[in-house]
Structure 1
């Protein structure tokens, strides 16, 4: 799974939604799972590095934060890794602190049936926002950039493959015009197959 960085203009909302998904999944689980999610949320809000998409903290510091002993920290981290909510990106060996990242696909799987219980606005955001909770991969061809129609002239409807590419450009421009004009507008359409551009 590709790493997702929740940084940029809409990152605040996306982080709150991710934390809401974790908390709702926890609240609908058994008491042990509820405690795991509470501890994970505390870890994420206090120490998660969104730019590098990982958290790196020693067991002693984590035990102090969670008000538990280091054995409980080891057990809790193993539980979070076994359930694939956290993925170990660098093992802690020989005194080095390990690094872990959130597995957005597992968060989606655990919380998806519960989005409606939060509300229709939350459900819509979770279904549409690009925070790594969707499984589709978009392949981009960076070779041979050609200029495309200006974003203001892009159609709202898909009209075959070319219309799909124009709709993609329109959406990217709407999300962040600065990033669109710096990067995306110089890309050229390579292909569209099975819902992937």
Structure 2
């Protein structure tokens, strides 16, 4: 998937595309998700620094904007962090609030099923049918592999999720991983080579961890070993 980068001459249009994706995703979900996404969008449109990918705002200020108490702010921000839409860039210290950021890759992946609700022109514009270019080495030729079978254990279900999110990336880098089992809350994956394992750890580990965590919330880590 081609990831939108809100920079350059078309930055304003790209920002609207990201917000449109979030809106469509919320409208296709229940009222709890709608409220959560609306609250996040209020932070983005009022305080988010797109260029630096930074949101610096205290819980008291957020509570005032959302018209809720600080306990609700803590709960909803925890949900957004668990979704990995919001990430902590710098933890707050005494007298300073935390600096947060947005994982736009994660946002666009999660909202992708709702893009057709906006229109075919939107899907074409944001790259819904484009091959992945941000992660896969251009010298790698991905061969189509059989679809993963959902339900064959934790890793099998996570594979199905990853393949649905970004099939070219899955074919090139993830399909060859084998299940090493779960040990003390960590999913172990076996890569075919040291190079492959290093690349995955550097570029794709967060995405693997998210898929595993969403499949089984008790498994919070992923480790990549080699044969």
What TM-score comes out, normalization by structure 1 length?
A: 0.63
1:137 aligns with 2:152: no
State the match for 1:73 in structure 2. 73
Distance 1:6-1:65 versus aligned 2 partners, 3 A rule:
same
Question: Structure 2 stretches of 5 or more lacking a match?
Answer: 142-227
Tell me the CA shift for residue 65 of structure 1. Answer: 0.6
Distance 1:76-1:6 versus aligned 2 partners, 3 A rule:
same
State the match for 2:140 in structure 1. 194
Runs of 4+ off more than 6 Å? none
Q: Is the 1:5–1:52 Cα contact (8 Å) retained in structure 2? A: no
| 1:4-153 alignment runs, 5 A limit | 6-127=6-127, 136-137=134-135
The alignment yields a C-alpha RMSD, in angstroms, of: 2.4
3-state DSSP of counterpart to 1:39:
helix
Tell me the CA shift for residue 108 of structure 1. Answer: 1.7
3-state DSSP of counterpart to 2:19:
helix
**Of Structure 1 and Structure 2, which has the larger fraction of its residues in strand?**
2
- State how far apart, in whole Å, the 2-side matches of 1:6 and 1:89 are: 19
Between the two proteins, the alignment pairs up a number of residues equal to 138
- State how far apart, in whole Å, the 2-side matches of 1:72 and 1:16 are: 27
- State how far apart, in whole Å, the 2-side matches of 1:27 and 1:97 are: 31
Please tell me whether Structure 1 or Structure 2 has the larger radius of gyration of its CA atoms: 1
Tell me the CA shift for residue 94 of structure 1. Answer: 2.0
What TM-score comes out, normalization by structure 2 length?
A: 0.55
- State how far apart, in whole Å, the 2-side matches of 1:78 and 1:89 are: 15
Tell me the CA shift for residue 58 of structure 1. Answer: 0.8
- State how far apart, in whole Å, the 2-side matches of 1:74 and 1:127 are: 34
Question: Structure 1 stretches of 5 or more lacking a match?
Answer: 140-191
